[in-house]
C-alpha cells in the first residue's frame, strides 16, 4: 500500500485558512446541546490567560498595562513599577523593521549593538539588555538571539528597572536596567487576511502576509499565521539584508482552561554589514563618516538561523484560583566572518583583521505557577507561587587572522583580500563547534499583593530563591575548566497609593541578579589587539539593588508618569591582561513620559530621561567619579500624530529623538557628540474595490545627519556605532 505525505508550505497553510473560513461560516451545530453552551468571548489573549491582553489606551499606541512576570497582567495605575506596552497597531504604523527600530520612541531606551557582532542591544536606564535576554510570552531565551522580526509580535512590553524577582535572573547576563517581553499574535474574533508590500531606500523590498481564523461551534480554536520576507540592499552602500520568517500561533479556550502554542522559523543573513569601529589607542574621536558609507569588507557576513516554539496552558482550579504552565525551546545555528576596523588616527586610518565564528545553541525553558485570591478581614490578598527553569548549551569555534591586520580608512574604505586565519589564533573546529558553555537556572518565587482601604492602598511583597549553575569548557576539547554553582534570594517590595481617581503614587525596592560575564575576545594594549589571558573565564553572579519612587496620572485620554530611580552594579575592567570585575557603576536619574490624545485627532507619545552615572571604587583611581560608557545624560523622544481635518483617513506624524553626549571609554576622554534626529511620516486609510487599504510612508533621519549613534561597551573597551542615513520606507496593506 502506498502512503502519501502532505508537506504544507506557509502560503499553502494561509490558503487553507482562507478556504476553510468560508466553509466554516455555513456550518451549524450538530445538536441542540452544543447550542446551549455559553458563547466563548475571545480577547486575543497572547498568554492564554482568562483576562486577555490589557486594553489599549486612548490613541491606541500603548496599552493600559502589561505583564509583570509572575504577577500577571497589571493595570498601569495598580503597578508599583514603570513600564510601557506598545501595541501591534503602533508597530504597524511605525513600519518597524525590528524591535530596536520601534523602541526609538521610548525615552528610557537607546539602541546599541553587541560587541563585534550585529546583535541588537537595548540600553535601558544606562544598562545594556542583550537581545539574548528578551522574553517571549514570559519565557527567556526562546526568540532568535540577534534580531526579532516584528511580524511575530502583538505587543512589545518594556519594563523599566531591575526584575530578578518578577522574571528570574536573565540567563544571558544583562537586564539590570530593565526588561523587555514580547507577546505573540493570536487570532481575534474577526477573520483577518492582510497582505503588505513595501520598499525602502537602497531597493530593499518587503512582503508579509498575516492570516487569522477562529474555528469551532463557539469559535474556541484560533489559528494565526505570519509569513514575512525582507531582501535587498539597504540605504547603506553594499550592505545587503536577507530576512525571512514564518510563524504559527494557536490557541484554544475551553470552559475552565486555556491553551496556546507558537512555532516559528527565522533566518537573518547579512552580507557586508557595516561593523562597529574600535577606538583603539586614540584619546579623542574622529568625526562621523557619511552615514551612507560602508567600511565593511565585501567578504564579511553574518548568518543566523533559528527554530523556536512555546506552549502554555492555564487552568481554573476554583473560582479565584488559577494554575499555569509554560515551556519553550530554541535551536540556533550561527556563522560569520567579521572585519571590525580599529582606528589608529583621527584622519580615519584603521586596520582590520578577520574574525570567523561558528556557533550552535540549544535552549530549553519553562515555568509553572499558581495564583489565587482570598480575603482576611478588610484585606484582600492576591497570592502567587511559581517555579522557573532555564537550560542553555552553547557550542562555539573561532578562527582569526594575523592581529596586526590590514590597512583601511573609515572615510575612504579600502577593500582588502580576505586574509587567511592562523591555527595559533583559532579555537575549536569551525565545521564542528564543541561545547564551550552550559548554564542552568532554577528558581522558586512567592508573592502577596495586599489591597487595603477598598483598593486605595496596594502593597506587594515577595521573594525569589534563584540558583545559577554556569560552566565553561575549552574550545575544541570541551574539557570543563571553570564553573560555579551559586544561589541567592532576591526580594521585592512595592507600594501603590491611589491619591485620587486619576493619580497613583508608588515606590519599590527590587534587585537584579545577573550571571557573571564571560571573559572573551581581545583587549587593546596600546599598540595591538591581544587576547585576554583569562579568555573564556566565567565570573560569578552578582546583585544590583534598585530604589524607585514615582507618580502616575490617568486623565482618561491623556496619561503621564514621573519616576526617580537609583541602581548600581559591579564594573568590568581589564587589569594587566586579565579581565575582572573591579569597582561599581551607579546610575540614577529621572524619567518623564506622556501618552494618549490631548485633543481630538491628535496622538502624543514620548518623554524625557535624565541620567547621572558614576564610576566608584575602581582599580584606576583617576576614573572614580567619571561617567560610564555609552550612558547619555539626556534622552528625549517625542512623537505626535495628527488626523488632517477635511481629509478623512489621512494622518501625518513626526518623531524627534535627542541624545546628549556620551563616552566611549572609562577615562572619559573619548566623547561622542550629542545628536538630534527627525523622522516624519504619513498614513492613509481608504477602500479599494470594497477592501480596506492602508498606505504608509516614513522618512527616518530627514536631515540625513551623520553621527556616532552609540558606544558599545565590552569590559573597559568601547566601540562606535554609526547612525543610519536618511531612509525612506513606503508600504501598502490590503485586507481581504
pLDDT digits (tens, 9 = 90+) for 685-729: 999 999 999 999 999 999 999 999 999 876 566 799 999 999 999
Give the three cell numbers for residue 433.
563547534
Query: 508: which strand partners?
Result: 494, 548
Distance CA 590, CA 636 (A): 12
**Closest among 87, 69, 82 to 139, alpha carbons compared:** 69
* HEC sequence for 587-615: EEEEEEEEEEEEECCEEEEEEEEEEEEEE
CATH architecture of 43-735: Beta Barrel (2.40)
**Closest among 460, 315, 454, 447 to 375, alpha carbons compared:** 454
Q: Is the pLDDT of residue 30 over 70?
A: no
Q: What percent of the chain lies above the pLDDT cut of 70?
A: 91
Long-range contacts of the stretch 614-617 (C-beta < 8 A, 24+): 614/585, 614/586, 615/571, 615/583, 615/584, 615/585, 615/666, 616/568, 616/583, 616/584, 616/585, 616/586, 617/583, 617/584
Mean pLDDT of 568-592: 84
Q: Is the pLDDT of residue 115 over 80?
A: no
Distance CA 504, CA 552 (A): 5
178-221 residue pLDDT tens: 999 999 999 998 999 999 999 999 999 999 999 999 999 999 99
SS3 of 729, please? strand
Give the three cell numbers for residue 329.
525551546
Helix (H) or strand (E) holding 33: helix 32-35
Q: Which residue has the higher pLDDT, 614 or 620?
A: 614
Distance CA 145, CA 398 (A): 18
Q: Which of 31-35, 58-62, 470-474, 534-538 has the lowest mean pLDDT?
A: 31-35
Distance CA 328, CA 308 (A): 8
Tell me how many degrees the CA angle 384-389-393 measures, rounded to the nearest 5.
Answer: 165
Q: Which residue has the higher pLDDT, 714 or 362?
A: 362
**What is the rounded end-to-end Cα distance, in angstroms, of the chain?**
42
Q: How confident is the model at residue 524 (pLDDT cuts 50, 70, 90)?
A: low
Tell me how many degrees the CA angle 566-569-571 measures, rounded to the nearest 5.
Answer: 135
Q: Is the pLDDT of residue 88 over 70?
A: yes
Q: Whole-model pTM? A: 0.90
Mean pLDDT of 35-52: 51
**What pLDDT was estimated at residue 522?**
67
Q: Which of 8-12, 459-463, 651-655, 657-661 has the lowest mean pLDDT?
A: 8-12
Mean pLDDT of 620-646: 95
Q: How confident is the model at residue 453 (pLDDT cuts 50, 70, 90)?
A: very high
- Boundaries of every domain in the chain: 43-735
Task: Please name the residue ranges forming H helices in 519-623.
Answer: none
Note whether 201 and 726 are within 8 A (CB).
yes
**What pLDDT was estimated at residue 575?**
73
**What pLDDT was estimated at residue 398?**
96
Query: 158: which strand partners?
Result: 84, 180
**What pLDDT was estimated at residue 32?**
35
Q: How many residues does the chain have?
A: 736
Q: Is the pLDDT of residue 275 over 60?
A: yes
Q: Is the pLDDT of residue 69 over 60?
A: yes
Distance CA 108, CA 161 (A): 10
Q: Is the pLDDT of residue 18 over 60?
A: no
Q: Is the pLDDT of residue 634 over 90?
A: yes
**Closest among 212, 296, 237, 241 to 101, alpha carbons compared:** 241
Distance CA 133, CA 167 (A): 11
Mean pLDDT of 465-482: 93
**What pLDDT was estimated at residue 113?**
87
Note whether 264 and 245 are within 8 A (CB).
yes
Distance CA 732, CA 134 (A): 30
Give the three cell numbers for residue 435.
561545547
Q: What is the mean pLDDT of the chain?
A: 90
**What pLDDT was estimated at residue 577?**
77
Find the Cα–Cα–Cα–Cα dihedral 88, 89, 92, 96, rounded to 10°: -60
Q: Which of 251-260, 490-499, 522-531 has the lowest mean pLDDT?
A: 522-531
**What pLDDT was estimated at residue 2?**
37
Burial of 663 (0-12, 13-18, 19+ CB in 10 A): buried
Note whether 223 and 213 are within 8 A (CB).
yes
Q: How confident is the model at residue 26 (pLDDT cuts 50, 70, 90)?
A: very low
Query: 122: which strand partners?
Result: 111, 129
Q: Is the pLDDT of residue 330 over 90?
A: yes
Helix (H) or strand (E) holding 303: strand 301-318
Note whether 335 and 351 are within 8 A (CB).
no
The residue with cell 584603521 is 350
**What pLDDT was estimated at residue 698?**
97
Pairing mode, strands 529-531 and 717-722: unpaired
Amino acid at each position: 500500500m502506498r502512503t502519501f505525505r502532505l508537506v504544507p508550505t506557509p502560503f499553502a497553510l494561509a490558503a487553507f485558512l482562507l478556504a476553510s473560513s468560508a466553509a466554516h461560516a455555513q456550518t451549524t451545530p450538530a445538536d441542540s446541546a452544543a447550542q446551549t453552551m455559553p458563547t466563548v468571548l475571545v480577547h486575543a489573549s497572547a498568554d492564554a490567560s482568562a483576562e486577555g491582553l490589557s486594553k489599549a489606551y486612548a490613541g491606541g499606541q500603548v496599552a493600559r498595562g502589561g505583564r509583570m512576570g509572575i504577577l500577571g497582567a497589571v493595570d498601569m495605575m495598580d503597578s508599583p513599577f514603570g513600564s510601557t506596552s506598545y501595541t501591534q497597531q503602533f508597530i504597524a504604523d511605525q513600519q518597524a523593521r525590528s524591535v530596536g527600530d520601534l523602541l526609538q520612541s521610548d525615552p528610557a531606551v537607546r539602541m546599541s549593538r553587541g560587541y563585534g557582532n550585529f546583535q541588537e542591544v537595548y540600553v535601558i536606564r544606562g544598562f545594556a539588555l542583550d537581545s539574548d535576554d528578551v522574553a517571549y510570552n514570559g519565557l527567556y531565551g526562546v526568540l532568535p538571539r540577534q534580531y526579532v522580526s516584528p511580524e511575530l509580535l502583538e505587543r512589545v512590553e518594556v519594563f523599566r528597572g531591575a526584575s530578578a524577582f518578577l522574571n528570574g535572573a536573565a540567563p544571558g547576563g544583562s537586564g539590570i536596567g530593565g526588561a523587555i517581553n514580547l507577546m505573540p499574535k493570536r487570532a481575534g474574533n474577526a477573520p483577518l487576511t492582510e497582505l503588505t508590500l513595501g520598499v525602502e531606500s537602497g531597493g530593499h523590498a518587503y512582503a508579509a502576509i498575516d492570516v487569522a481564523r477562529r474555528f469551532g461551534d463557539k469559535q474556541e480554536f484560533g489559528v494565526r499565521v505570519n509569513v514575512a520576507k525582507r531582501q535587498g540592499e539597504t540605504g547603506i552602500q553594499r550592505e545587503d539584508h536577507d530576512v525571512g520568517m514564518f510563524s504559527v500561533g494557536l490557541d484554544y479556550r475551553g470552559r475552565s482552561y486555556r491553551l496556546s502554542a507558537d512555532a516559528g522559523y527565522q533566518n537573518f543573513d547579512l552580507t557586508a554589514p557595516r561593523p562597529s569601529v574600535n577606538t583603539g589607542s586614540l584619546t579623542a574621536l574622529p568625526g562621523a563618516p557619511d552615514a551612507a558609507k560602508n567600511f565593511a569588507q565585501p567578504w564579511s557576513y553574518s548568518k543566523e538561523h533559528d527554530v523556536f516554539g512555546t506552549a502554555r496552558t492555564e487552568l481554573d482550579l476554583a473560582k479565584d484560583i488559577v494554575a499555569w504552565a509554560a515551556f519553550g525551546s530554541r535551536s540556533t545555528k550561527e556563522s560569520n566572518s567579521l572585519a571590525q576596523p580599529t582606528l589608529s588616527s583621527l584622519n580615519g586610518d584603521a586596520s582590520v583583521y578577520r574574525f570567523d565564528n561558528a556557533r550552535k545553541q540549544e535552549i530549553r525553558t519553562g515555568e509553572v505557577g499558581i495564583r489565587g485570591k482570598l480575603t482576611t478581614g478588610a484585606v484582600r490578598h492576591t497570592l502567587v507561587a511559581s517555579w522557573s527553569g532555564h537550560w542553555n548549551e552553547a557550542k562555539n569555534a573561532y578562527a582569526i587572522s594575523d592581529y596586526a591586520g590590514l590597512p583601511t580608512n573609515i572615510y575612504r574604505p579600502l577593500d582588502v583580500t580576505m586574509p587567511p586565519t592562523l591555527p595559533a589564533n583559532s579555537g575549536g573546529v569551525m565545521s564542528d563547534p564543541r561545547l564551550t558553555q552550559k548554564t542552568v537556572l532554577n528558581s522558586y518565587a512567592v508573592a502577596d499583593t495586599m489591597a487595603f482601604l477598598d483598593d486605595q492602598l496596594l502593597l506587594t511583597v515577595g521573594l525569589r530563591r534563584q540558583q545559577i549553575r554556569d560552566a565553561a569548557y575549552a574550545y575544541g576539547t570541551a574539557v570543563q575548566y571553570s564553573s560555579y554553582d551559586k544561589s541567592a534570594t532576591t526580594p521585592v517590595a512595592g507600594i501603590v497609593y491611589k491619591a485620587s481617581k486619576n493619580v497613583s503614587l508608588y515606590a519599590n525596592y527590587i534587585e537584579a541578579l545577573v550571571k557573571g560575564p564571560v571573559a572573551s575576545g581581545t583587549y587593546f594594549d596600546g599598540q595591538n589587539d591581544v587576547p585576554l589571558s583569562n579568555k573564556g573565564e566565567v565570573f560569578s553572579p552578582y546583585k544590583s539593588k534598585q530604589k524607585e519612587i514615582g507618580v502616575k496620572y490617568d486623565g482618561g485620554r491623556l496619561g503621564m508618569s514621573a519616576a526617580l530611580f537609583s541602581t548600581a552594579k559591579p564594573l568590568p575592567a581589564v587589569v594587566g591582561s586579565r579581565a575582572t570585575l573591579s569597582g561599581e557603576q551607579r546610575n540614577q536619574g529621572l524619567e518623564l513620559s506622556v501618552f494618549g490624545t490631548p485633543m481630538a485627532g491628535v496622538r502624543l507619545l514620548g518623554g524625557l530621561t535624565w541620567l547621572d552615572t558614576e564610576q566608584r571604587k575602581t582599580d584606576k583611581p583617576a576614573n572614580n567619579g567619571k561617567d560610564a560608557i555609552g550612558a547619555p545624560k539626556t534622552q528625549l523622544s517625542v512623537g505626535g500624530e495628527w488626523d488632517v481635518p477635511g481629509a478623512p483617513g489621512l494622518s501625518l506624524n513626526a518623531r524627534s529623538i535627542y541624545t546628549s553626549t556620551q563616552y566611549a571609554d572609562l577615562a572619559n576622554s573619548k566623547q561622542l557628540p550629542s545628536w538630534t534626529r527627525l523622522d516624519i511620516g504619513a498614513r492613509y486609510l481608504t477602500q479599494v474595490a470594497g477592501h480596506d487599504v492602508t498606505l504608509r510612508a516614513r522618512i527616518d533621519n530627514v536631515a540625513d545627519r551623520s553621527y556616532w549613534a552609540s558606544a558599545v561597551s565590552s569590559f573597559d573597551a568601547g566601540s562606535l556605532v554609526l547612525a543610519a542615513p536618511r531612509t525612506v520606507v513606503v508600504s501598502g496593506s490590503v485586507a481581504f
